[in-house]
Amino acid sequence: MWEDPRNKRGGRWLVSLAKQQRHIELDRLWLETLLCLIGESFEEYSREVCGAVINIRTKGDKIAVWTREAENQTGVLHIGRVYKERLGLSTKTIIGYQAHADTATKSNTLAKNKFVV
């Protein structure tokens, strides 16, 4: 959880999926997310990654990669770019990074993206 001291100053790269994408993309995206973590795909910034989480909801699903330091702009953006590329998302698709401090005080739908790729 974001309350954990190792995650508290961090944030997450968030990929949101419409419920229609569940049967088409969800398993592939989640598998690729896990392979990114296992394979330390984020190079020198792999130690910045704390983990990943998947949320299955009625309205839509979310996959997030959590990082330990939201203020490390260079590292966070590197992780986001590599993650987006590994997921095979189009250049038109935007994924956002939200600091845990922002999502703790607002509902997830209102939290502002700190970075986007």
User: 90: domain CATH number?
Assistant: 3.30.760.10
pLDDT at 109 over 60: no
Side chain identity at residue 80, one-letter code: G
Q: How many CB atoms lie within 10 A of CB 91?
A: 7
Print the domain residue range for 84: 11-116
**42-100, pLDDT tens digit by residue?**
999 999 999 999 999 999 999 999 999 999 999 999 999 999 999 999 999 999 999 99
**Alpha-carbon span 65 to 67, nearest angstrom:** 7
Q: How many domains does the chain have?
A: 1
**22-45, pLDDT tens digit by residue?**
989 999 999 999 999 999 999 999
In a domain? residue 1: no
**Alpha-carbon span 34 to 38, nearest angstrom:** 6
pLDDT at 108 over 80: no
Contact 104, 2 (CB under 8 A): yes
In a domain? residue 27: yes
The pTM of this model reads 0.91
The predicted structure's pLDDT at residue 14: 97
In a domain? residue 97: yes
Residues facing 11 on adjacent strands: 67, 99
